[in-house]
Structures are given as structure tokens and as C-alpha cells.
Amino acid sequence: RRDLEIIKRLSPTQVTAYPLMSSPSVKSLIKRSIGDISLDKEATLYRVILEELLGEYNQISSWAFSKKGDDIIDEYVVNHDEYVGIGSGSFSFLDGVLYTNTFSLKEYATRIESGKMGLSRARKYGRLSQMQYRLMVGLFGGGVHKESFSRQFKMPIEVGLFKELLFLRCAGAIREKEGVLYPTLKGKYLFLSMMKEFYIGMDTVREESRARLSSEDM
């Protein structure tokens, strides 16, 4: 609460309250440095953050807040269905395929110099996985417009994601108003947790890719 009071006195344009995101190597580092970590109070602390900030800030995602009148873009994965990553170790998502550029600086440079792309891995995601992903990201970002979703996937969201919506409604995680699905207070924390696991997964891929490199590749 003291940290939040300091933040309110400083009155920055943006506040981002990230949850602890720990990939396997980070977990080991945290355990060696400060011991085991408990997340038992995470939900309670999240509610405190919302209580303290929402009077002065607009919430633009589950963990990002902007000063009223100064809305910003926080997460490109929320605002854009597709994106291109440039550089060694970057990720791209195009037409349902997740691409990863090589983590080897030497290999990346060689490929680019020869007129090739730096891609090293690719994984195609099916339609259901893409719909689930957009639902998660949209609700994390504040809401999902049912009509836009239906246009994108050529079917009503209630048809494509019947089980998912049934679960979220029964759990009290979403509400609907004028054709838009919004997260409830419980839902905001749920989608914060899901996005946290998404980014932990991305970090795990990075760690696995780096682990395959020799010192000459770095």
C-alpha cells in the first residue's frame, strides 16, 4: 500500500503491475537467492492494486493502467491479431503460425547476409486454438466484441467456444453488455494469471533455444 501511495503522489502516465513471471531458470535463481515463493496472497494484492488505482487511472489490460486522458498501447499482442518479430530470438504470429527466429547471432547474421530469413522454428495452430487465444487475449485486454470475433473466425463465438464461455459464465468471470464480453473482477485476475502463464511459456521456449547453442553461436 505504501508503494501504491508513492505511485499516486508521483502520478505517472502509466503504471504496470506485473505478476511474478518465473521460467524454470528464474525459479531456480529466485529459490537460491530468497528461498521459496508463495503466491497465496497474489489475488488479494491484485484487488488492493485495483482499489487504489482505478479512481485515478483507466485499466487498459489486466495489469496495465494509464492516466485518464492518456490511454496508451501496452501489449501489441492485445491490439494486433498478427505481428512480426525482427531480430535474433524474436517471435512472429501470422496466419495461425507461430514463427521463431534463430537464437544464434552467428547463424542469424549468416542467413540475413545471404538473403534468407532468420526463421528456425514454426508451429501451426488450429482454428480452435486460435479462437481460444483471441478470447484470452481479448478479455485480458478489457473486452471481446462478439461481432468482430464472429467476422474474424466466420462463426458466432457462442458456437466456436461454447464450452469455454459456459465455464467462464458459470465461474462468474465474464459479463456481457451490448454485444461485448467484459471480464468481471474475478475474471481480470483469471486472465492476468493466464497471460502470465503464456509469457512464462514463451520464456521457456527462449531458454530451451539458448540452451542448444554453443558459446560460438552466442
Residue 175 confidence (pLDDT)? 96
pLDDT at position 207 = 78
Inter-residue contact 74 to 67 (CB < 8 Å): no
Q: Which pLDDT score, from 0 to 100, does residue 121 have?
A: 87
Mean pLDDT in order along the chain per 10 residues (218 residues): 93 90 75 80 93 90 84 71 89 91 92 92 92 93 94 95 96 96 95 89 79 64
**Contacts from 209-216 at CB under 8 Å and sequence distance 24+?**
209/89, 209/100, 209/102, 209/103, 209/120, 209/121, 210/89, 210/103, 212/103, 213/103, 213/104, 216/106
Q: pTM for the complete prediction?
A: 0.81
Cell for 157?
463465438
